[in-house]
């Protein structure tokens, strides 16, 4: 493997500091800093030899974002997988991949990186936030798992507001904001303020609460998605006359248990409700109920399991109700096809996986069932699993149809990367691996590239998680 060094071609330096550098992908070698506006990069054939061969010149373009690379070697070189012939030139941007040889084998590979301008390095956006403005008015501490109430938009700890809401629903007709006493119609988690809360605690660790206090607070938290509290449906008529109490009741977003007692339960008059992500119908937010109301894979609410447990079906209800098939445990599901999201939606890879399964004399369900067993026994690395709460999911977990497809796609990825080559079709086995693996963006817009290269595998180039 050759090593490279740089030398000035006579132009004046842009400043005392490097404005760009070539970063070798092999971390055993040092970066090549580019301090001049026009620099020639040379190869040292042997470390002990003074003989050097020029292989490229990098010329800084106007502005800070790009440069022009001139091929000075006796052969072609690769820039972002494109072949640059002898004496050819190409514009390069920060992140461009450069290989000082035509085949890529036996050459040290580099990433061109433009350094920030000196003035931009010192200009950092600073926002000052008084921690007193990021405190829950119930516990008077910095928010923890912050939620926002509407329409007043005051913010509280999830556990604090959940407990307040439970007590309010037991004693009053409405849930009032603890801070301003406005009637709360909606409440949901606020991920933006959650990031601010984390930054505040990093800046001042003295504001952190003991772990045991946070555990108690988390045990009280019941808000996972947007809750609708005593919500009213928008009027479908225009009038300036205030509706009567009966009219207001008829305008509520109804759920079957608002209208009648079902299974021994009827909704509180102003009880909190969840809106199903799929059918948009309403169901009560029964936090102590054993049937799950949220998909663990995406945290969205789904009503299929709840109404099935209450023996309520779509035909029996005048309001939207999902069937049980839309939200049920993983162990009760079957799969007859490879989901469209599998292998980053690359249809060529999906077809190869299908042919591999057929060559083994198996079905997609057979393969998925086998890998679900390995998954449940925690024999699979879950670091790339595209679902929330990845470590907590088992085959008994309720998930929605979309998350089930994602999980099947995740398992079929592991099936492919562990499959021996004997089961591959001849045309698939002969393909070269794409450097960027599953993270390749070209496979989504270049049909020829998607077909000719294998994209089921971890990236071997680029800044991607392993």
The answer to whether 220 and 165 are in contact (CB under 8 A) is: no
What residue ranges of the chain are covered by domains with CATH 2.60.200.20? 3-119
Residue 347: in which H helix or E strand, if any?
Answer: helix 347-359
Residue with tokens 């300036």: 240
Q: Which two tokens stand for residue 354?
A: 């299908």
3-119 carries CATH number 3.30.300.30: no
User: What is residue 327's three-state secondary structure?
Assistant: strand
Q: Which of 237, 233, 267 is nearest to 251 (CA)?
A: 233
pTM over cut 0.85: no
User: Per-residue confidence at 237, pLDDT binned at 50, 70, 90?
Assistant: very low
Q: Which of 417, 393, 416 is nearest to 404 (CA)?
A: 393
Percent of the chain with pLDDT strictly greater than 70: 83
Query: CA–CA separation, 272 vs 286, rounded Å?
Result: 8
Query: CA–CA separation, 5 vs 427, rounded Å?
Result: 41
User: Per-residue confidence at 2, pLDDT binned at 50, 70, 90?
Assistant: very low
Query: CA–CA separation, 206 vs 199, rounded Å?
Result: 13
Q: Which of 413, 334, 405 is nearest to 366 (CA)?
A: 334
Question: How many angstroms separate the most distant Cα atoms in the chain?
Answer: 96
φ, ψ of residue 267 in degrees (nearest 5):
-65, 145
Q: In whole angstroms, how far apart are CA 378 and each of 159, 329, 374? A: 31, 18, 6
Mean pLDDT to the nearest integer, 182-194: 88
Mean pLDDT to the nearest integer, 365-370: 96
Of the given ranges (20-34, 367-381, 424-438), which has the lowest mean pLDDT? Answer: 20-34
Quick check: 48 pLDDT over 60?
no
Residues in the chain, overall count: 466
- 107-144 pLDDT tens trace: 778 889 888 765 554 555 566 778 888 999 999 999 99
Query: CA–CA separation, 1 vs 206, rounded Å?
Result: 52
Angle of helix 401-417 versus helix 347-359 axis, rounded to 10: 70
Of the given ranges (87-91, 191-195, 251-255), which has the lowest mean pLDDT? Answer: 251-255
Mean pLDDT to the nearest integer, 236-254: 41
Mean pLDDT to the nearest integer, 371-400: 93
- 56-72 pLDDT tens trace: 899 988 765 789 999 98
Class of domain 245-322: alpha beta
The answer to whether 77 and 108 are in contact (CB under 8 A) is: no
- pLDDT of 117: 65
If you write DSSP's letter for every residue of 368-408 in order, what string do you get? HHHHHHHHHTT-S--TT--STTGGG--TTSEEEHHHHHHHH
Q: Which of 294, 368, 361 is nearest to 331 (CA)?
A: 368
What residue ranges of the chain are covered by domains with CATH 3.30.40.10? 131-223
Quick check: 464 pLDDT over 70?
no
CA torsion 413-417-418-422 (nearest 10°) is: 120
- pLDDT of 253: 55
Residue 122: in which H helix or E strand, if any?
Answer: helix 118-122
Mean pLDDT to the nearest integer, 268-273: 76
CATH of domain 131-223: 3.30.40.10
Query: CA–CA separation, 323 vs 371, rounded Å?
Result: 27
User: Per-residue confidence at 26, pLDDT binned at 50, 70, 90?
Assistant: confident
Cβ neighbours, 10 Å, residue 151: 10
Of the given ranges (128-142, 242-256, 264-278, 380-394), which has the lowest mean pLDDT? Answer: 242-256
């Amino acid at each position: 493997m050759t090593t490279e060094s740089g030398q000035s071609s006579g132009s004046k330096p842009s400043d005392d500091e490097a404005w760009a550098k070539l970063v070798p992908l092999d971390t055993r070698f040092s970066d090549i800093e580019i301090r001049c506006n026009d620099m020639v990069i040379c190869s040292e054939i042997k470390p002990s030899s003074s003989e050097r061969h020029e292989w490229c010149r990098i010329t800084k373009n106007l502005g800070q974002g790009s440069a022009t690379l001139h091929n000075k070697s006796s052969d072609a070189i690769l820039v972002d997988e494109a072949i640059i012939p002898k004496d050819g030139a190409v514009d390069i941007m920060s992140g461009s991949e450069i290989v000082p040889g035509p085949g890529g084998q036996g050459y040290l590979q580099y990433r061109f990186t433009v350094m920030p301008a000196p003035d931009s390095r010192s200009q950092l956006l600073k926002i000052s936030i008084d921690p007193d403005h990021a405190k829950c008015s119930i516990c008077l501490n910095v928010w923890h798992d912050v939620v926002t109430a509407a329409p007043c938009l005051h913010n509280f700890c999830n556990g604090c507001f959940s407990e307040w809401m439970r007590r309010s629903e037991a004693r009053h007709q409405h849930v009032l904001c603890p801070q301003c006493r406005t009637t709360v119609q909606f409440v949901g988690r606020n991920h933006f303020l959650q990031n601010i809360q984390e930054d505040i605690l990093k800046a001042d660790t003295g504001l952190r609460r003991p772990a045991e206090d946070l555990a108690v607070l988390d045990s009280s938290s019941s808000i996972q998605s947007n809750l609708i509290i005593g919500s009213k449906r928008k009027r479908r008529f225009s009038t300036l006359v205030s509706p009567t109490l009966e009219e207001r009741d008829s305008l509520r977003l109804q759920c079957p248990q608002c209208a009648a007692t079902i299974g021994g339960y009827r909704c509180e008059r102003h009880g909190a409700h969840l809106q199903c992500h799929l059918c948009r119908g309403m169901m009560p937010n029964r936090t102590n109920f054993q049937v799950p109301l949220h998909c663990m894979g995406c945290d969205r609410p789904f009503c299929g399991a709840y109404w099935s447990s209450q023996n309520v079906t779509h035909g029996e209800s005048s309001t939207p109700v999902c069937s049980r098939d839309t939200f049920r445990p993983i162990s009760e599901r079957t799969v007859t096809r490879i989901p469209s999201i599998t292998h980053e939606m690359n249809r060529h890879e999906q077809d190869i996986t299908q042919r591999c399964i057929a060559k083994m004399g198996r079905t997609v369900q057979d393969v998925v069932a086998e890998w679900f067993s390995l998954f449940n026994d925690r024999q699979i690395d879950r670091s790339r699993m595209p679902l929330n709460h990845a470590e907590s999911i088992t085959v008994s977990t309720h998930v929605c149809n979309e998350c089930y497809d994602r999980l099947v796609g995740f398992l079929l990825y592991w099936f492919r990367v562990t499959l021996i080559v004997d089961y591959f079709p001849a045309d698939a086995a002969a393909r070269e691996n794409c450097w960027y693996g599953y993270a390749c963006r070209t496979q989504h817009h270049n049909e020829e590239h998607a077909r000719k290269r294998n994209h089921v595998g971890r990236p071997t180039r680029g800044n991607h998680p392993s």
